[in-house]
Amino acid sequence: MWKPVSLRRRPDLEPTPWRSELSGPRVLIEHHDSSIAVAVSNLLAAEGYAVSNCGGPDDRHKHVCPLVSGGDCPQAADADVVFFGLDISDEGDREILRSWRERHADIPVIVEMPVSRIPLYEDELEGCVAVPQPMTRDTLLDAVGKALR
């Protein structure tokens, strides 16, 4: 039986390994808020998805996402879908989203953001599945299902 696992880590480390005991589609969760990332991760894992968490860039710890420095994400090749919970209003975080979409057009992206901001970022969201905040279990699972179809 699946047991919740704490995914707390220092934000200057690479994305967490995939939870190997899970064999469903792989969801890479990018979120600055580790408590939200762990909640999303645990919810998806309970539904049978394999998950990996990444905190994104962190200026305090000098962690630069490889996607904004000309590189690639170490989890990209294995991800079936990306859950993007970084700050859409931040230019650096938007650059990560753009880089994902340029380098990995075949990997669908779910973007979590305030419903009031969705119209402001239509260009960035084109081809993505938007999940308005506050996100619920049902809206998250629906978004993952849409992204995988």
CATH number of residue 50's parent domain = 3.40.50.2300
Please give the pLDDT value at position 27: 95
In the structure, what pLDDT confidence band is assigned to residue 92 with cuts at 50, 70 and 90? confident
User: Does the residue 11 lie in any domain?
Assistant: no
Contact of 80 with 109, CB cutoff 8 Å = no
Residue 92: how many other CB atoms lie within 10 Å: 14
Residue 1 lies in a domain: no
Looking at every residue in the chain, the average pLDDT score rounds to: 83
Residue 2 inside a domain? The answer is: no
Mean pLDDT within 38-53: 92
Question: Which residue did the predictor score with more confidence, 60 or 122?
Answer: 122
CA distance 144 to 138: 10
Region label for 62, one of left (φ > 0), alpha (ψ between -120 and 50) or beta (otherwise): left
Q: What's residue 129's pLDDT?
A: 96
Tell whether 15 is covered by a domain.
Answer: no
Q: Would residue 19 count as lying in a domain?
A: no
- Structural domain total, the chain: 1
| The residue type at 9 | R
% of the chain with per-residue pLDDT over 90: 50
**Which residue segment(s) compose the domain that 40 sits in?**
26-148
Residue 138 lies in a domain: yes
pLDDT at 121: 94
pLDDT at res. 95: 87
- Paired tokens of 119: 């119209």
Residue 9 lies in a domain: no
pLDDT(4) > 70? no
Residue 7 resides in a domain: no
3-state helix, strand, coil in the chain (%, to 5): 40, 20, 45
- Which helix or strand (DSSP H or E) is residue 122 part of? helix 122-125
The answer to whether the predicted template modeling score (pTM) of the entire model surpasses 0.85 is: no
